[in-house]
Structure 1
Amino acid sequence: MLWARGLRGRVTKGGYLVLDARPPVRLAGPGETFRGEQVGPQLWFGGPGETLLVLAPVPGCDVASIELPVIEQRRRFSAETCQDDVYVAASGERGHVERTVAEMIVRRTA
């Protein structure tokens, strides 16, 4: 019930989902961790049997310090990189993962 009362969402004219929280609910910020795992905003694409792709804003992005265990555990092969303070990780079939991570272009707009 706390989540239902404290979390609100709206869709902008551009089609973006914007979430707002009121106490006691609090949304995690970019790069925020809890018990060693990323809990800040993340976009997940894919599902069982497909390539899984995760994009997460992480200020000062350092691949070596980021742990996203589901990427390594769910798939046969995984790769990760950082671009413009955005963590990019993929897992699945090796060739597709390598191409996805190598060809991904992240552009942040104001």
Structure 2
Amino acid sequence: MAGRQITDRPATLEHFQVGLRRFMQWLARFTPDLESFAEITREQVLAYAAFLETEVSPQTGRPLAVWTRRNYLAAVKLFFQQGAEWQWEDMPDRPLLLDSDQPKMSCFP
């Protein structure tokens, strides 16, 4: 995170932190026996993506916007991607989320 503080705007870092925190909360709730990041599967991350489709914004009381869901998933993807690039121990040895897994932005309301 310290390296990102040099290059990213504070709002970008905050969105990253919120997205990652939401994923960690979901993991704690739905996979409480998880002991390491290396145990996380693609199926679990996709289940989290599906869960986000049912989540409601506490501010609006409406379903999370596509943009919000995309940001949350981008934070998860970036965390694991950079963890692998930086050769952190305890990271999955494969990508957990692909660009094609992101919610699609609609051209129509």
| TM-score over 0.5 for the pair | no
Please report the TM-score for the alignment, with normalisation by the length of structure 1: 0.30
Q: Which has the higher strand share?
A: 1
| Structure having the higher Rg | 1
Q: Which structure has the higher relative contact order (CA within 8 Å, separation 6+)?
A: 2
- The answer to which structure has the higher helix fraction is 2
TM-score w.r.t. structure 2 length?
Answer: 0.30
